[in-house]
A and B are shown apart, each in its own frame.
Chain A
């Protein structure tokens, strides 16, 4: 069975500081991995995806994530946080023949002045 674990349900950073949101996956086969963002009262929007082409994946809004097989991790980073980054972030996995995504529990990012 596939699953993802997001460490930290709430993360608070200062504007301009590094953003690091953690995600670890469990999959018996090479996975596809995704990060989605949910702004208040909106649906989920794809930030980036890992499809085995390159281990460092760049997404929208300056976010990137690195796939590390040895650590079974896919952490999301952004060098400098903006107030507009405040949202909930979800890591998701798809593996094998299943086409559905399995989501983590989400991390709420707060950005302070």
Chain B
């Protein structure tokens, strides 16, 4: 157990729908990162939050949004889902000090039918 908790582990939904993925960071970590892993794109950085504020943005689609709450958990919202959104979505957390080691959760596997 890495200490980073992601729910749900698996999610199957239809095109056009909206889903929310949840992440609880490791205790003491203030920063949360979201990554998308797909066969054709590899591991792509989506977005980072630090203590509730957006810190960096990567290849995140406009249909996707995220936030980090006061208790430091984070949610990634995916809307108007398309077949191509099917992927593993990973959350990672860190304390951003020193080497900034990211600790990853087990991921949420999204299947869009």
**A interacts with B:** yes
Count of chain B residues with a beta carbon within 8 Å of a chain A beta carbon: 27
The complex places the Cα of A84 from the Cα of B97 at a distance, in Å, of: 32
- Restricting to B71-113, which residues have a CB under 8 Å from any CB of A? 90, 92, 94, 96, 98-107
Contact B98 A51 (CB under 8 A): yes
Known: A99-B48, A100-B58, A105-B42. A51 touches B99 (CB 8 A): yes
Known: A43-B107, A45-B2. A99 touches B101 (CB 8 A): no
Residue-by-residue, is B47-78 near A (CB-CB < 8 Å gives 1, otherwise 0)?
01010000110100000000000000000000
Count of chain A residues with a beta carbon within 8 Å of a chain B beta carbon: 21
The complex places the Cα of A104 from the Cα of B58 at a distance, in Å, of: 15
Whether B24 is near chain A, meaning CB under 8 Å from some CB there, is no
Whether A34 is near chain B, meaning CB under 8 Å from some CB there, is yes
The complex places the Cα of A34 from the Cα of B100 at a distance, in Å, of: 10
Contacts of B101 in A (CB 8 A): 34, 46, 49
